[in-house]
Chain A
Amino acid sequence: GQNIDQPTEMTATEGAIVQINCTYQTSGFNGLFWYQQHAGEAPTFLSYNVLDGLEEKGRFSSFLSRSKGYSYLLLKELQMKDSASYLCAALNFNKFYFGSGTKLNVKP
Chain B
Amino acid sequence: GAVVSQHPSWVICKSGTSVKIECRSLDFQATTMFWYRQFPKQSLMLMATSNEGSKATYEQGVEKDKFLINHASLTLSTLTVTSAHPEDSSFYICSARVRGAGVNQPQHFGDGTRLSIL
Distance in Å: Cβ of B43 to nearest Cβ of chain A:
4
A42-B6, A42-B93 given. 11 additional CB < 8 A pairs? A30-B103, A30-B104, A42-B112, A94-B49, A95-B46, A95-B49, A96-B34, A96-B46, A96-B107, A100-B42, A101-B43
Binary CB contact string for chain B from 51 to 63 against chain A (1 if under 8 A, 0 otherwise): 0000000000000
Chain A residue contacts of B49, Cβ below 8 A: 94-95
Q: Is A98's CB under 8 angstroms from B43's CB?
A: yes
Which residues in B have some Cβ–Cβ distance to A below 8 Å? 6, 32, 34, 36, 42-46, 49, 91, 93, 95, 97, 103-104, 106-112, 114
Chain A residue contacts of B43, Cβ below 8 A: 87, 98-101
Contact count A vs B, C-beta below 8 Å: 55
The interface residues of chain A, by DSSP majority, are classed as strand
Chain A residue contacts of B93, Cβ below 8 A: 42-43
Q: Determine if A48 is an interface residue (Cβ-Cβ < 8 Å).
A: yes
Q: Is B109's CB under 8 angstroms from A43's CB?
A: yes
